Amino acid sequence: MERVPSLRPAERLLLALLPLSTGGAVLVAILLDSDSLVSPTLVLLAGSVTTAVVLTRRLPAVVRRALSRRVRLGLLAGLAATAAYDMVRYLAVAAMNWSVRPFQVFALFGQLLVGRDAPTGVQYLAGTAFHLLNGLGFAVAYVVVVRRPGVASAVVWALVLEAFTVALYPPWLWLTAVGEFVSVSLLGHLAYGTTLGLVTTRSAEARNDAQAVAGAGR
């Protein structure tokens, strides 16, 4: 029986570096206490794009097509999941009358991208776009790495993101209402993971491409 070509686990992980690069840039900026997101974003993007191009050029056509469909699915699921994430956080803060500002980080992202002297509207626009890229990227990385996406694994992935958020954001944002922030963040990430899992689970492409993306038993 002829073996169906598929991505190896290491290849899936390397390809996931590209959609994770903007999130990685935030991690680098926080750990290095950098006043800019531009340099870490460009460096990580350059390295991950190069890696992705080299890898994908070597893949059989059937695997490239399956991977392309997975990426499109991740973008769609990521858009829905990010919308759910932001909506749940906004509604939670409004309902509980909490003092935490769920979208404060958008302005900070913008300042680190376009500078603190840029108009406030430009800062929020740049920061919101960066936030959306993160949400899309996390979803694409998930569907590239996980052979058969589902609600349980998507929620676990979202909780991993939550762990990084809770560990890094409070001191970075100089938050005082840490308990409120953790509650809002947890609710948002649960909404993100659940939505990501529901969208990808309902996709026929995710089921049909599982063999080409990750092989029969991997």
Q: What is the pLDDT of residue 207?
A: 57
Q: What is the pTM of this model?
A: 0.90
Cα–Cα distance list, 38 to 17, 65, 93, 158, 195 (Å): 17, 32, 31, 25, 30
Walking along the chain (218 residues) 10 residues at a time, the average pLDDT comes out as: 64 93 95 92 95 91 88 95 97 92 91 93 95 97 91 97 94 87 96 96 64 50
Residue ranges per domain, the chain?
9-214
